[in-house]
Structure 1
Amino acid sequence: MFKQLQEKHQLSILLILSIVSVFGITPFIIIRFIENNIVAALIDLAIVSGILTLVGYAHYTKKPRVISAVIALLVNIGVIAIIITNGINSMLWVYPVVAVTFFLVKPIEALILTLSNVAIIASIPNLFDVMPLNSYFTTNLMLAACAFVYASFGNKQLALLAELNSTDPLTGALNRRALNDDTLAAISRAERYNSTYLLAFLDLDFFKKVNDEFGHAEGDRVLKQLVSITNSHIRESDKLYRFGGEEFVLIIPEIPPKEQVSFINKLRETIKNELKTPAGNSVTVSFGVAAWVPGTTVASWFKRADDAMYQAKKQGRDCAVFSKD
């Protein structure tokens, strides 16, 4: 979920950057052509064209991370080139480039790139005959420091927002919003690469009795413990979601068919052995499991897994039933 939110955020930044570059740099291209400053005009034109092309490619591929890094390099190289060509007259372009860099890449990457850029520009001969070098360094370092703090704080806020947006507040499992997104992603990947995926519904058996006998606070503890036990006995690539009430969902990728039954039953037995009521009684779980098959939709996949879990309940609970489709 964080990756998806970050991707949308980065694509939005790239779109805004492309608009700003067109309206901000294009007038200078025209002016420089009129003034017969052809080299500078061509550099500006290359920067705008490069940004527009790369932003379009990022929106097409939905992979803005690498493209953002390329654009950051492009604008930093571009500002060096324009200062070499125009001299002190183009020095003010350094400041927007520093700010833009911190929007495009990670804060530490932006800081390294900015300091490198500042150092390279400082080494250009005769540039600082009319501008104090210490003022140039001080103003750029202050801007870089402020941008670094702001970008770092923004990344933390984005991560927190993604967590709040995708996590069940009671149990810490992923929520239904994350489940819907990840199920679509799993189907897409399975269709593209013919990958093996399992969708498993988990339902606590007789959970109402736990609430009735020990209270809802104890019921909440059982739900939290179920999530903790499950997460500690599944692989890092497997994801657990709270579907509602005492019902949970597992998405399990890339598991060989011959290992699927043993994997699910081992998890079921582990939960049975470790999940207890205050009286020391085991809390069991029924599983309904459906493998991905060609033509699967989110609705059909959920229905097959839910139907299998219903069969597990009919068979006496504390068992796992696999869809026969």
Structure 2
Amino acid sequence: MMSFYYSYQPLIDFFLIAVGLGYSQQLALRAGVFSIATAGFSALGAYATAILVTRYGAPVPLAILVSAVVGMAVSYVLSVPLARLRGAFQAIATLAFVQVVIALLLYFEGFTGGAIGISGIPRVMNTGWLLLAVLVTIYVIWSINRTSVGRVFNALRQDDSVAASLGVPIKSYYALAFVLSGLIGAVFGALRSLYVFNIEPVDFGFHAMVASLTVVVLGGRNTLLGPIAGALIMAILPELARPLAENRGILNGVILILVITFLPNGVGDELVYWLRRRLRRTPKTMSKREEGTDVVAAD
């Protein structure tokens, strides 16, 4: 067991980071905000923590806390114009946000290291801390889902005009969903920087945007299992596609197309829905069998 863990520890750790970033992406999408800003929040959290720890000698917990505040503040400011946009326009706006963040990281070279980035970040994160962060995130989102806030998020995703007609302050809830997304994205960006020793602007570019979005598309955006299933698929795929060498991208694309076509809700969501249907059906089946047994006994 331990030999398996040590052999695949980097894969497990990056899987946990991908799950956390997946929840950041899922929160925005679940509330009807077509955002791909998770990579930008992750970059802000990573660089804030790296700069505070390496240049100012700040304690790691304080650096993570500051990163979380930065992510929340920036996401709140960004939520104001996003609340006035819909669909593809939100995606374009958040794409522009990520590009602006990367441009600023490159421009302020004396502060951020430019294209070279920041190195020498103490590696204090391990599997245990990353797992704890994921579990706390799951608990927070699970708690939100059980409140009226979670139900409003679902209503906004399905039809925000109906929600508005019922008196729901949709702009406030859009802002709340986006701030939570920014908080989680910044925190896991900070944790990532404390794991990889070195960060560069390219780490948070187009590939990072696609990766966080793909995790939710593959896993699902409506259940807690979604990001876990999506990140698991994303972690396993490179291992399965290793024999294909440079053609491994073909397998990734084919699987993504198949999931979107046949499992549009995502693998994780479809699994949860299937289990719910099975659990609902079981009591009815058993009651029918008991009725049949009673009839036979009466005869």
TM-score of the pair, normalised by structure 1: 0.23
Larger strand percent: 1
Largest Rg, 1 or 2: 1
Higher relative contact order (CA 8 A, sep 6+): 2
Higher normalized helix content (fraction of residues): 2
Normalised to the residue count of structure 2, the TM-score between the two structures is 0.25
